[in-house]
Amino acid sequence: MSVRSFASRRRLRRARITGWTSLTALLVTMVSFLTWFHIVLPADRDAVDRVFADPQVSVVASQGLILFTPADEPTSHGLVFYPGAKVDPYSYLPTFHELVAEGLTVVIVEPLFNMALFDTTALSDITGVAPDVSQWFVGGHSLGGVKACMVAQDPAIDGLVTMASFCASDLSARDIPALQLLGDRDGLIDLNAVDEASPLLPERTETTTIAGANHASFGAYGPQAGDGIATTPRDDVAAIITAAITAALLNN
């Protein structure tokens, strides 16, 4: 075997080793990436079970959407809701339990990779699961609120609610009612970002800061790393949310 042939084979072998090493590293990275996105903050099972046990409401999940409706009569008002990043979507059933029992339809999106900003489900596909609803609002928690603001640019949306969040989309020209809900014990939201983004909200925006609520108070999950300590019980926070949404959107 010539020296040139031997060197050529060595280079080929090195290239193969390098290629397999790179491919293995890529596969490990992809698996790690997908695993991380699929690990969510779990819902409080007892709180969610109480929702499922209530004959006044119905919960049906299909094709990445959770349809949460009054059990008896179709409703004319609906809310499309986007969860916070890596939060179990079922965590928000207790939050909206009373509102749904009183007549609001809520469709909770189970977003791609558990990140609302990655979700590409068309608004028409979401609202299509509740054809009896004639007026739609959109809302979201944390990064889900950022997504909700993006969706609120659609003229089919008649109102907005953000929870522990802020808008990155300019809605200042939209003549719709909006509700911004914050917690004074929230350790995760950037209040400077909230202030800087306030001009982007619709003119008819009401802001309610819930005393004793932290970032995780807006859903039935937690605790969440880096969050403040909530001093108001979650059921009381849900009652405040119910009253605020009723006043700002449903009775507006």
pLDDT digits (tens, 9 = 90+) for 226-236: 999 999 999 99
Strand partners, 87: 41
Q: What pLDDT sits at residue 28? A: 38
In degrees and rounded to multiples of 5, residue 173 shows phi and psi of -90, -5
**Can you tell me the distance from the alpha carbon of 203 to that of 206, in angstroms, rounded to the nearest whole number?**
9
**Upper half-sphere CA count for residue 146 (Cβ side, 13 Å):** 14
For residue range 87-128, list pLDDT tens digits in order: 999 999 999 999 999 999 999 999 988 999 999 999 999 999
- CA 197 to each of CA 38, 102, 137, 146, 241: distance values in angstroms, whole numbers, following the listed order: 30, 33, 20, 11, 22
Torsion of CA 112, 155, 219, 198, to 10 degrees: 110
Q: What pLDDT sits at residue 222? A: 84
Averaged pLDDT score across all residues of the chain: 89
**Can you tell me the distance from the alpha carbon of 170 to that of 177, in angstroms, rounded to the nearest whole number?**
15
* Residue 8: Cβ within 10 Å count: 11
The pTM assigned to this predicted structure is 0.86
Range in 73-77, 197-201, 211-215 with the lowest mean pLDDT: 73-77
Q: Which two tokens stand for residue 193?
A: 């970002």
Buried b (16+ CB within 10 A) or exposed e, 153-167: eeeebbbbbbbbbbb
Instruction: Look up residue 152 and give its amino acid.
Output: A
Q: What pLDDT sits at residue 13? A: 60
Mean pLDDT of 218-240: 96
At residue 33, does pLDDT exceed 80? Answer: no
For residue range 123-140, list pLDDT tens digits in order: 999 999 999 999 999 999
Cβ proximity of 230 and 212 under 8 Å: yes
Q: What pLDDT sits at residue 18? A: 57
